[in-house]
Structure 1
């Protein structure tokens, strides 16, 4: 079975507004289910790919502080 998680996540969230995206992220984090982690990873990848080097550095600093 070949699943394209990236495509599925992006398809499911396509057309969502900021509030809907925020609700999705908050729900995934608060729910704490392992099955939500790949979807959050896809969202992180989208943010990373759209970020400039300054924003990437900020994210990495926050990750470093958080772990």
Structure 2
């Protein structure tokens, strides 16, 4: 099976419980740089499936922590 990186990451987390997804995220935060693409894919899914209020809050949170 020929999967691209995005598909491989999505396949890795598909059918995980809330607790398992939380663990994947927590384990990836501050970890090795190799996990950053995975976090990017997860963020992409969150972004694409969030309303404008959530997107604005995410941007605001990011901005607040970059200063």
Higher relative helix content:
1
Q: In 1, Cα distance between the equivalents of 2:22 and 2:28? A: 10
What is the TM-score with the length of structure 2 in the denominator? 0.90
The answer for the alignment partner of 2:9 in structure 1 is: 9
What is the TM-score with the length of structure 1 in the denominator? 0.90
Q: What 5-or-longer segments of structure 2 have no aligned partner?
A: none
Taking only aligned residues, the RMSD between alpha carbons, in angstroms, comes to: 1.4
Q: What 5-or-longer segments of structure 1 have no aligned partner?
A: none
The answer for the alignment partner of 2:55 in structure 1 is: 56
How many residue pairs get matched?
Answer: 65
